[in-house]
Amino acid sequence: MRVLFCGPKLAACGIVLSTWGVVMLGLLGIFFITHSAGLIEDIPLQREDLPNPPQRVYDLYNQVGYNCFIAAAIYVVLGALSCCQMRLNKKKEYLPSAAKTLTTK
């Protein structure tokens, strides 16, 4: 069942935002997985992690990187949903004009 729940402008905005989200979160995920030193402030390091800091820091980098990839996958799904909404809106634009030409002939 096809459900149209957003207009063409909102669908286009969803596609643009999803594209940007996938690019940004994909790059962030790559940088976290490669343990980029510039992102050390963004990992959730606690005081109880101090007995074995290097391995725990690397584990936290990987965990945050995987979270970025999961968020990027969610953006892919939302982008696909926006694309479907865009197609349904275009189909809706063409159907009334096609129905008018069929009834006037």
pLDDT per residue as tens digits for the range 45-84 = 887 766 777 888 899 999 999 999 999 999 999 999 999 9
**C-alpha to C-alpha distance for 68 and 74, rounded to whole angstroms:** 10
User: Where are the strands (E) in 15-80, listed by range?
Assistant: none
Q: Nearest 5°: CA angle at 27, between 24 and 32?
A: 120
Residue 8 has a pLDDT of 87
- Domain range for residue 30? 8-104
Integer CA distances (angstroms), 43 to 50, 56, 67, in order: 14, 11, 12
Question: How many domains does the chain contain in total?
Answer: 1
Residue 43 or 97, more confident: 43
Radius of gyration of the chain (CA): 22
pLDDT at 27 > cutoff 80: yes
Q: Quick check: is 35 in a domain?
A: yes
Residue 28 has a pLDDT of 96
Q: Quick check: is 1 in a domain?
A: no
Residue 74 has a pLDDT of 97
Q: Quick check: is 2 in a domain?
A: no
Percent pLDDT > 90 in the chain is: 50
